[in-house]
Chains A and B, each alone.
Chain A
Amino acid sequence: NAGVTQTPKFQVLKTGQSMTLQCAQDMNHEYMSWYRQDPGMGLRLIHYSVGAGITDQGEVPNGYNVSRSTTEDFPLRLLSAAPSQTSVYFCASSSYSGANVLTFGAGSRLTVL
């Protein structure tokens, strides 16, 4: 049982480049979400999804796009990367029958030059 898998673990981009952070879960969780972790800021919610075809914005959605075509996958897209998007990104999922327990992936460290 892999849980939540994030790829890539590390990525360096130049300003203006685009990329997609991948997130997959094999627990049949309805809820999936993306967070960014910055020093002194904790974890901030970027986007979340309550099921396939349904997404919504979190605290800091600007500059990021998401889609949810399947229950398992929830990719995060940066269309035009900016240095302010340098961060560690975490994907997390939960089941609504699981008492709101978030299962996190191992994280993806993104540097934008």
Chain B
Amino acid sequence: QQQVKQSPQSLIVQKGGISIINCAYENTAFDYFPWYQQFPGKGPALLIAIRPDVSEKKEGRFTISFNKSAKQFSLHIMDSQPGDSATYFCAALYNFNKFYFGSGTKLNVKP
């Protein structure tokens, strides 16, 4: 079964709107939670990451919110732009060596 559950599968947002992607996990041994961004035909690239001792991390228009008790974390993209249209993956790291990825969210930002 999927160790990290991601939703929604796809998302359409108007330019300037807020995009929100959610992830949930069960294994409390996960200790690092990155988000990766992937454009068509390319490999994923790290967007932003958080450790479980922090509840929020912001980098520019991108924010991770982390709820340790609920075992959930989410990516918020403020002022979404057409250039943000991509597939986004959440992930969780176990034992320093094993990354478990969510199923991905395809974001389409309409001009």
- Where the two chains meet, the residues of B that have a C-beta atom closer than 8 Å to any C-beta of A are 2, 4, 6, 9, 32, 34, 36, 41-46, 49, 89, 91, 93, 96-104
Contact = CB atoms under 8 A, between A and B. Distances in A.
A96 B97 CA distance: 10
Interface in A56-113: 56, 58-59, 90, 92, 96, 99-102, 104-107
Given A42-B104, A43-B89, A58-B98, A107 B43 contact: yes
30 contacts: A31-B97, A33-B99, A35-B101, A40-B104, A42-B2, A42-B4, A42-B6, A42-B101, A43-B44, A43-B91, A43-B99, A44-B101, A48-B97, A48-B98, A59-B100, A90-B43, A99-B49, A100-B32, A100-B49, A100-B93, A100-B96, A101-B46, A101-B49, A102-B34, A102-B44, A102-B46, A104-B43, A104-B44, A105-B43, A107-B43
Nearest to B4: A42
